[in-house]
């Protein structure tokens, strides 16, 4: 998949395009991407996604913007898995926000991207003050030489699939609903970084994963499966128990930390890039009076996570012990 950044002056090749934030790349997004690919193949065009960095709401009101489901890297990986051939990442700033809807169509879609077919959602808006919509695209399509298609809402069990619905499911700890909306377990990817090694001192060594954003969409203690821990077999699944939160018993910074204790694992994994799938929430994060009380609770968390995995199909997993 080819990734371009910014606004192109002249199109390299005609494209079939869809536009959006694609945060989470949930089932609704996946339905759009499948339709995009079908049109691109039928019309002999390059399938292209236009997305924005940062999210427009992060730019205009960072304190009120929704939490991100995926980092840009995670989003690009998911788009590549969906078979998208090209992604245009537009930097959302004051200059981009001032582009009129008419100029967006003529300069960006027609000249910059060479759009021949474009698919947008039923709530799509574009241009300065969000004045552009599907009706405007349709009215301008013949003059600018492209077709326009509209994607209706995608539902699961009567619920409209959206990034907001996924965030709400994660925030409430309903990982099963999040999985149904995403079509896969919710996951976070990141590199293993050095930690304070407290877990090792109390008998539960952990791997600390780097978080791309300071406001993850979920928090608590979870049963997880990790991909990428076994160097000789990157696709092998390793099971464990993870903590995502501010660790109030041992820190007062308020900064979220993601750490995982993987069962029976003895490999060194600093610097390795992992993907963690969140399967089941065990409990909310709590503050304990001392480390002994915390240690006893971690023992219960490990036991509860292992009992949860006994209810699933068996996975041959290595475990991790010598990491932080």
- What are the φ/ψ torsions at residue 254 (nearest 5 degrees)? 75, 5
Q: Show Cβ contacts of residue 198 under 8 Å, excluding neighbours closer than 6 positions.
A: 250
Residue 139: the pLDDT is 95
> Residue 225: which of 169, 263, 171, 178 has the closest Cα?
263
Between CA 215 and CA 221, with CA 217 as vertex, the angle to 5 degrees is 100
Please report, for the chain, how many H helices and E strands are present, in that order: 10, 14
Partners of 245 in beta bridges: 257
Report the distance separating Cα 188 and Cα 216, nearest Å.
9
- Residue 224's CB is within 10 A of a number of other CB atoms, namely 24
pLDDT (tens digit, 0 to 9) for every residue of the chain, 324 residues total?
999 998 888 888 999 999 999 999 999 999 999 999 999 999 999 999 999 998 888 888 888 888 999 999 999 999 999 999 999 999 999 999 999 999 999 999 999 999 999 999 988 999 999 999 999 999 999 999 999 999 999 999 999 999 999 999 999 999 999 999 999 999 999 999 877 666 666 667 888 998 887 789 999 999 999 999 987 777 789 999 999 998 765 666 668 999 999 998 888 888 999 999 999 999 999 887 788 888 899 999 999 999 999 988 654 433 333 333
Report the distance separating Cα 269 and Cα 240, nearest Å.
15
Report the distance separating Cα 85 and Cα 15, nearest Å.
10
Residue 286: the pLDDT is 87
Q: Show Cβ contacts of residue 29 under 8 Å, excluding neighbours closer than 6 positions.
A: 20, 22
Domain 2-156 has CATH 3.40.50.620: yes
Report the distance separating Cα 225 and Cα 12, nearest Å.
41
Q: How far from 313 is each of 121, 170, 182, 193, CA to CA, in Å? A: 38, 23, 21, 31
Q: Show Cβ contacts of residue 139 under 8 Å, excluding neighbours closer than 6 positions.
A: none
Element (H, E) at 103: helix 101-103
- What are the φ/ψ torsions at residue 115 (nearest 5 degrees)? -65, 135
Question: What does the block give as tokens for 297?
Answer: 């609770």
The answer to whether 209 touches 227, Cβ cutoff 8 Å, is no
The 3-state secondary structure of 39-51, one letter per residue: HHHHHCCEEEEEE
Report the distance separating Cα 153 and Cα 123, nearest Å.
9
CATH architecture of 185-310: Beta Barrel (2.40)
Element (H, E) at 237: strand 237-245
DSSP secondary structure of 111-131: IIT-EEEEEEETT--BSGGG-
Domain spans, the chain: 2-156, 185-310
Please state the pTM of the whole predicted model: 0.89
Give the orientation angle of helix 175-182 with respect to helix 163-171, to 10 degrees. Answer: 160
């Amino acid at each position: 998949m080819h990734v371009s950044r910014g606004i192109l002056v002249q199109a390299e090749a005609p494209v079939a395009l869809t536009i959006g934030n694609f945060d989470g790349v949930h089932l609704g997004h996946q339905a759009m991407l499948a339709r995009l690919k079908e049109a691109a193949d039928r019309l002999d065009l390059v399938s292209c996604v236009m997305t924005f960095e940062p999210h427009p709401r992060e730019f205009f009101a960072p304190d009120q913007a929704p939490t991100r489901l995926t980092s840009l890297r995670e989003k690009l990986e998911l788009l590549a898995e969906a078979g998208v051939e090209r992604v245009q990442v537009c930097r959302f700033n004051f200059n981009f926000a001032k582009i009129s809807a008419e100029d967006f169509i003529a300069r960006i879609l027609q000249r910059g991207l060479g759009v021949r077919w474009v698919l947008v959602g039923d709530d799509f808006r574009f241009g300065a003050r969000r004045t552009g919509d599907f009706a405007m695209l349709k009215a301008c399509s013949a003059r600018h030489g492209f077709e326009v298609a509209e994607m209706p809402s995608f539902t699961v069990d009567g619920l409209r699939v959206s990034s907001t619905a996924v965030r709400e499911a994660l925030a409430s700890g309903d990982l099963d609903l999040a999985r149904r909306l995403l079509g896969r377990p919710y996951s976070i990817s990141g590199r293993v970084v050095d930690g304070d090694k407290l877990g090792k001192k109390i008998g539960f060594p952990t791997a600390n994963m780097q978080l791309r954003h300071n406001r993850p969409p979920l928090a608590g203690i979870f049963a997880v499966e990790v991909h990428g821990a076994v160097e000789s077999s990157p696709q092998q699944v390793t099971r464990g128990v993870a903590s995502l939160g501010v660790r109030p018993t041992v820190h007062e910074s308020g900064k979220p930390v993601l750490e995982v204790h993987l069962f029976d694992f003895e490999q060194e994994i600093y610097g390795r890039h992992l993907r963690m799938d969140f399967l089941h929430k065990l409990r909310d994060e709590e503050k304990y009076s001392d480390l002994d009380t915390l240690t006893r609770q971690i023992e219960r968390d490990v036991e509860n996570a292992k009992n949860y995995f006994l209810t699933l199909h068996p996975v041959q997993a290595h475990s991790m012990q010598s990491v932080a």
